[in-house]
Amino acid sequence: MQPNKTIWITGASSGIGEACAYLFAREKCNLILTATRADRLAVVQQECIRLGARCEILPYDLSDLIHMDVLTDKAIALFGNMDIAFLNAGISQRSTTLETSAWVDEKIMQVNFFAPMQIAKRLLPAMIAQGGGTIAVTSSISGKFGFPLRSAYAASKFALYGFFETVQAEYYNDRIRVVMVCPGRIQTNISYNALEADGKKHGRMDEGQEKGITAEKAARKIVKAIKKQKPEVLVGGSELLMVYIKRFLPALSRRLARRIKPV
């Protein structure tokens, strides 16, 4: 990648976002990092600077949709352009459909779907005016098939596919490229921060996730896909087989989904 490309990463304080930030930093990119925790984000910023990047941070809670346009305008203004936006931030769930509070459903949809949708709609005119750009979005294999204890989470990830595939179809000739990032089980904090039925944090790493690939390994594959502007990249281990089972053997995938241990 050419030096001085401007890249905005949300969910950049840990996990996939942090690991991708370090890879881009080594290529002397201009980085903008967003996450809820300002203290942790500052630590990642200093490491990115040490690795050779120009790096600014914009701490923000993406469940606050009211000031999202202001946040996006600030991100564009920091370096004067936006080549790549990696909309990676998200929050997961660990509760059945009926026991989940409505406000938990709403928060998951706000962070996972409405925030990236609103950011993208604000970014697109600037990207089109500059001659193009790349929007990478973190979905999930839960955006491919329903999964126990993930009703709102799966809904938000399904919605990302519908919205951003439409964006790609509408603005392809304007040199806008969309990369759908579809992780399986990755060793990150997503299960620690997942919301239970009453909104409390799950507070532990799930057994299946603990056996997943590292965030660093996932980041290498994701960054490569973003550079090549691949329409979709599947990231994970053997659990990715479910994506192909759903595609070619949908009846079998439904039976398997009912049997999967969800945590």
pLDDT at 5 over 80: yes
**pLDDT, tens digit, 9 for 90 and up, residues 187-196:** 998 988 999 9
Mean pLDDT is lowest, of 41-50, 79-88, 254-263, for 254-263
Residue 262 has pLDDT above 90, yes or no: no
CATH of the domain at 109: 3.40.50.720
Buried b (16+ CB within 10 A) or exposed e, 22-46: bbbbebbbbbbbbbbeeeebeebbe
Domain encompassing residue 241: 6-259
| Per-residue confidence band for 207, with pLDDT thresholds at 50, 70 and 90 | confident
What number is the average pLDDT over the span 230-236? 98
pLDDT at residue number 192 = 84
Q: Is 60 one of the annotated active-site residues of the chain?
A: no
Which one is catalytic: 22, 153, 161, 244? 153
For the chain, the domain total comes to 1
Q: Give yes or no for residue 86 having a pLDDT over 70.
A: yes
Question: Does residue 62 fall inside a structural domain?
Answer: yes
Decide if pLDDT at 2 tops 70: yes
Q: 128 in helix, strand or coil?
A: helix
pTM of the model: 0.96
Q: At residue 263, does pLDDT exceed 70?
A: no
In this predicted model, what pLDDT tens digit does every residue of 172-185 receive, in sequence order?
A: 999 999 999 999 99
**Mutual orientation of helices 15-25 and 215-228 as an angle, nearest 10°?**
60
Report percent pLDDT > 70 for the chain: 99
Residue at 69 is within a domain: yes
